[in-house]
Amino acid sequence: MVARYPHTITIRYFAAPTQDANGNLIEGLATELVSECRISQGGGSWKTGENGTYTDIVYTVSLPLLTDKTFTNGEVVIEGKNYSIKNIHHYQQRTKIWV
């Protein structure tokens, strides 16, 4: 039988920065999440910005639906290498991340 999620991924994401009483920015705390997933190489390009530049997608990652949907900035660790999250989308029963 084929495993639905045969790989493991580590996702590091950061809470939004806040300001203290003096107006100084305080970095958000880092949170680390380990999840089972399916990693596929490639995924094309992602159009970013007003100027129409493209960002290459190295991996497309499908994983069970994440309950914590607040992270927008973060990185993933795949095979010991860090990749920044380019986009994330939450479907009904799964989450998809492009890195």
Going from N- to C-terminal start, the domains of the chain cover 7-98
pLDDT at 32: 86
- pLDDT tens figures, 19-41: 888 888 888 788 888 889 999 88
In the sheet that 59-64 helps form, which strands lie side by side, from edge to edge?
81-84, 74-78, 7-14, 30-41, 59-64, 94-98, 87-90
pLDDT at 46: 67
Tell me how far apart the alpha carbons of residues 73 and 14 are, in angstroms, rounded to a whole number: 7
pLDDT at 25: 86
- Second CATH level (architecture) for the domain 7-98: Beta Barrel (2.40)
Which residue's structure tokens are 């910005």?
Answer: 49
pLDDT at 42: 78
DSSP assignment of 15-75:
PPPEE-TTS-EEPPPEEEEEEEEEEEE---EEEETTTTEEEE--EEEEEEPPS-----SEE
Average pLDDT of each block of 10 consecutive residues along the chain (99 residues)?
A: 83 82 84 88 71 80 78 79 85 86
Task: Give residue 3's identity as a one-letter amino acid code.
Answer: A
